[in-house]
Structure formats: structure tokens, C-alpha cells
Amino acid sequence: MTFSGVGVSPGRVVGTVRQMPAPVAEPPAGERLAPTTSAAEAEDALRAASTSVQAELTARAERAHGDAKAVLAATAQMATDSMLIKSAVKHIAAGSSAERAIWDAAASVAEMLHNLGGYMAERATDLFDVRSRIVAELRGVAAPGIPASATPFVLVAEDLAPADTATLDPEQVIALVTSGGGPQSHTAIIARALGLPAVVAAVGADAVADGAEIYVDGTTGSIVVDPGEQEVAAASAWATTASRLGEFDGNGRTADGHLVPLLANVGGAKDAVIAAAAGAQGVGLLRTEFCFLGRDAEPSTQEQVEAYRGVLDAFGGKKVVVRTLDAGADKPLPFLTDATEPNPALGVRGYRTDWTTPGVLERQLAAIATAAAGSTAEVWVMAPMIATVEEAERFASMCAAAGLTTPGVMVEVPSAALRSEHVLAHVEFASLGTNDLTQYTMAADRQLGPLAALNSPWQPAVLQLIGMTVAGAVAEGHGKPVGVCGEAAADPALAVVLVGLGIATLSMTPRALAAVGAVLASVTLAQASALAQLALAAPSAAAAKESVRSRLPILAELGL
């Protein structure tokens, strides 16, 4: 029996299936308050349970780092969301048990999120996880989570909640398979960060029997139940890949010596220390949301300074690109964003929050400048969701006022790519966020499994916009560098194409550094350029990917 999904994190393994345990059972419909329990007592119990769940998720967030930290912090907020709790209290006042009240309240809020679409629809999954945890707390039973096992296993589920993906132990879980989710779902992002082979959107895989042996290929997205000799051999070959790759030597370059610095995407000081140890040549994306998520109020300037300085200290003398707060969409903040927007992915997010809540960005820039002044790191600063020349010009002036001399922009909106020559006239660099650029170019929500084929950065239209961004950066003698900090940079084959398109730096999860470095070192700049043109001329994303991969024999040699 075989299944096919979307490979989101490379690797080939054979292992035993452990299915996620059954979710918390729904309280009986119409379940009423016990005669011995008053509405006030039930409300108190509900609030205590929601606070306990929030505390548990917040504690997990503190133990996690990077994407996991941000995901958990955002989910923790949902446990005590005022709309959710007020709705549940109304049900209790009408006679419902606390368990049934929170169940029905969450269903109503989730329906609202689904109707909003986009990122908010994806948040409904997180809300249901929170609901189950609150019900488990009220019942005094264990919350849902990763199954226990005495031996390593392949975790299979319909989908995974942030609280689960963020605390996976890669020593226990050797691969991830979900029947739902998309290429940019929480499961996919965390799998890449942990270096776990993973396949999402594998319809039917959640029905594989617990204890069955399966083969998982996180590159091709193929899954084989009861694997044969060919699959076992492929998994065995992959097991030696890490030793063949070795460690990244800290010098990204092509075979003919063209330098391509390989940087790291980080979400805090812990991430930065790990990235530095992995040989990253700097930080291409510091996600500053880690300072803001999970809070009801803006962090103080001093809190921000200390948090940023922890990252800068790990990369003394090297470049650190700081992205200003990218709140909104899937990262709502109660003091900054409006969760009721009809389409948050296209709403007030990133740089745009300064339109509705001026002052937060200015104070953040001041904190970054203070942290930079006490560090030897070379600090660059960029704003997310820049769409116009006027926005780039204003952001550059704000940086100048704060004493920051190297302002840049994230190119995620197609208009910025199309007008890059004019946008870059006002800033010093650009960094392509390929996740959002792909989503907006293809009009395809990046979280949805059914749209995975559209949501590939191999789409020729996306590659063409990347090329146009680079062309604009060198027009009129600008000569300004363009990097990539989206997930595309972590794909070794696509990294070759990006360099061939003129990308100057690549930033990725530290786990991808060795693979990307090895593949880049196998081609000359001229060969990379030829492969880039091949990809641009392809009729589809699948054809572009296949044509490039077939001309990179090192991928097969390394099991990539």
C-alpha cells in the first residue's frame, strides 16, 4: 500500500507507526450542570482550567525556540481569549456544564475563524487543540499529546497541534506524516527546524494501522506500507548522508569560488547560539516576534534591547539582519492587530501596523539601535510587507532617525518585486520572503494542503519575480544585494537556482547549511545560471524542479 503527499522536509526512513491518540471525547450534547454545582462555581472552574492551560502552553513556549516558540506563544493566548471565555460563560449561565460550554463556545469561534479564511481559518485547528486541553483539565485527565514509546517511531496523524509539533523529541520521533496540513503548516515548519523527514497532505495515511512498518521519503512525499528491499536500502543510504555531508565549513561558495554567504534564520538568542555553532556566516533573518508574542502589552524598550543583544552577541563581527515586528495574520497581537479582519493575510500586518498603531515600530527601531550600539555585530534592519516606493522611503527615514544606517525591505508582495528598481533606490538591500511571495503570486493560502502544488516556490512565475527583483537591484548602478530568507533557501536544488538568478545570500534553518553548502560547491556560477534559465523556461513548478534536480547528480549521491 502506498500514499502520496507533499514532502516538506528531506530524509528517508523506515520505522514503526504510532498514531496520535484519539482526541478528547466530546462532552455529551446538552450536558447540564450537576445539581451540586452552581453556575458561579462552574465559571470559576472554567477560568481556572483555561488559565492552567495557558500557563502550560506558555511554559512550553519558554522551553522551545524559533518557530516553535512563536507558534506556542500565539496558541497560549487563545486559552484565555476573552471572546472564547465570555461565550462559554453565557452557556454556563444557561445551564450547560463547563465542559459542554467551552466545547460549544470554541465551535462558534472556530466557525467565525473559518469564515474569515486565510490564516485565521488555519487558527481554528489551534483553537480546537486548546479546547481539548481545557476539557481535559476540567476532567482531571491527561491532555492530548505525542504517544509514549520505548522505541523510536514514525508519528502519523490527521494533523498536529502547535503544542505537539513544538515539543517533539527528534530522538523519539524519526519522521512525521499527516493526512492534512499544507507545505507551510505548523507541522511542516517545525519538521524542517528539527531536521525530521516529513510528509503532509498524504490523504488516507492517518488510517494506517498502529504498529505497521512504513517507509517515508520527505523529499518526494512518498509513503510505502510494508516497505521492500528497495525502500530499506534507500533508508539505509540516507542514514549515512549526515556523515557524508559533514559539517558546514562556514564558507558558502560555488565550485569556481563565487562567494554565497549562508546565513541562519533565528528567533532568539538560543537559536543564534545553535546557528553560530553550526557555522552560519551570520543571521539573515532575526524574527523579532519572539519578544512580543504571548503578551498583552508591548515589551519595554529595555526588554527588547536585552533580547536582541543576546542574538548580536552570538554573531560578533558578523552580519545580523533584523526584521521588524511582523505581527498580524497568523501572529495576532491583542495590543496591535485586529483579529476580526475579513482577510488578515491581506490586512494590517507587518510594516502596516504602524498605520493603525503608530509608535510601536519607532520604539522597536530605537531598541534595535541601542542593542546594536553595544555590539560588534553588523546590524541591518528590514521591514516586512513593503509594497510601495513610499513605504520603503518612509521606513528608511525612520531607520535614519533611530541611527540605523543599513535599512532594507522584505520583498513578499509582488508589487515590490515588480518595482524593485524604484523601491531599492531608497534602501540598502532587499530580502525575499519566498513563503509569502509565493502565496501572494499564486493567490494560494500557504497553509492549505489542497493548494500545495500552487504553493511551490518552484513556480516559474515566482522565480521570474525573484529574477526581476535582482535585476531592479542592479539597475541604474544600484548594485544593492538581494538575499533570500524564505523556506526556498533551505532546498539545496532550489538554492542553486536562486544563486543562478543573482541572489547574493541565502538564509535558512541551521540544519540545512551543510546540505546547501555541499550542493552549491558542486556547481560553477555559470552552471547555476544555466539551471536557473532552465527553471524559468519550464511550463510548471513540477517540471522546473525535475529538470534542475535531474542535472544535479550530487543530490542522489547525498540522498537529497
Reported as a single tens digit per residue, the pLDDT across 87-99 is 999 999 999 999 9
So what's the pLDDT on residue 452?
A: 78
Range scoring the smallest mean pLDDT among 17-26, 173-182, 227-236, 396-405: 17-26
Quickly state the pLDDT bin for 22 (edges 50, 70, 90).
Answer: low
Per-residue pLDDT, averaged over 247-271, amounts to 94
How wide is the angle at C-alpha 25 spanned by C-alphas 24 and 28, nearest 5°?
145
Catalytic, 186? Answer yes
- Mean pLDDT check: name the lowest of 17-21, 181-185, 495-499: 181-185
Could you give the 3-state DSSP secondary structure of residue 341? coil
Instruction: Out of 91, 186, 291, 399, pick the active-site residue.
Output: 186
What is the dihedral sign for C-alpha 99, 104, 105, 106? positive
CA 498 – CA 503 distance, rounded (Å): 6
Q: What percent of the chain has pLDDT over 90?
A: 58
What's the pLDDT score for residue 330?
60
Q: What local confidence, expressed as pLDDT, does residue 163 receive?
A: 66
Q: What integer pLDDT is reported at residue 58 of this predicted model? A: 87
Q: Please indicate whether residue 315 or residue 455 has the higher confidence score (pLDDT).
A: 315
Pick from 106, 93, 82, 97: nearest CA to 45: 97
Whether the per-residue pLDDT at 396 is higher than 70: the answer is yes
Query: What does the CA dihedral 39, 44, 46, 51 come to, rounded to 10 degrees?
Result: 170
- The span from the CA of 326 to the CA of 265, in Å, is 14
pLDDT per position as a tens digit, 205-251: 988 999 999 999 998 899 999 999 999 998 988 887 656 677 899 99
pLDDT tens for each residue of 97-111: 999 999 999 998 888
User: What's the pTM?
Assistant: 0.74
Instruction: Tell me what the pLDDT averaged over the chain comes to.
Output: 89
For 438-486, strand residue ranges (E) read 482-484
Predicted confidence band of residue 349 (pLDDT cuts 50, 70, 90) = confident
Catalytic residue among 65, 291, 399, 485: 485
**DSSP run (H or E) holding 385:** none
pLDDT band at 301 (very low <50, low <70, confident <90, very high): very high
pLDDT attached to residue 320: 98
pLDDT digits (tens, 9 = 90+) for 435-471: 899 999 999 887 777 787 888 899 999 999 999 999 9
Phi, psi (degrees; rounded to nearest 5) at 388: -135, 165
* pLDDT of res. 195: 82
For residues 343 and 173, the model is more confident at 173
pLDDT category of residue 289 using cuts at 50, 70 and 90: confident
> In this predicted structure, what is the pLDDT of residue 166?
64
pLDDT at 297: 78
pLDDT at 359: 93
What is the Cα 97 distance to its own chain's centre? 37
Q: What is the pLDDT of residue 429?
A: 97
Residue 74 pLDDT grade (very low, low, confident, very high; cuts 50, 70, 90): confident
Q: What average pLDDT does range 277-289 have in this prediction?
A: 95
- Least confident residue range of 199-203, 269-273, 474-478, 539-543: 474-478
Torsion of CA 117, 113, 66, 452, to 10 degrees: -30
pLDDT at position 148 is 64
The three-point CA angle 296-302-304 to 5° equals: 60
Give the number of other CB atoms < 10 A from CB of residue 373: 11
Q: Is 399 a catalytic residue?
A: no
- Amino acid identity for residue 349 in this structure: R
The two beta strands, 12-19 and 407-411, are unpaired
Q: How confident is the model at residue 161 (pLDDT cuts 50, 70, 90)?
A: confident
Confidence of residue 6 (pLDDT cuts 50, 70, 90): confident
Residue with cell 495515511: 205
pLDDT in tens, 510-539: 989 999 999 999 999 999 999 999 999 999
Cell reading at 96: 450547560
Higher model confidence: residue 401 or residue 10? Answer: 401
Q: pLDDT value at position 244?
A: 67
Whether pLDDT at 134 is above 70: yes
What is d(CA 556, CA 447) in angstroms, rounded to the nearest whole number? Answer: 29
> Quick one: pLDDT at residue 294?
67
Least confident segment among 53-57, 238-242, 392-396, 481-485: 238-242
pLDDT of 242 reads 58
324: DSSP letter: P
pLDDT band at 115 (very low <50, low <70, confident <90, very high): confident
Average pLDDT of the segment spanning 463-490: 91
- Whether pLDDT at 67 is above 80: no
pLDDT for position 46: 95
Q: What pLDDT score was predicted for residue 441?
A: 97
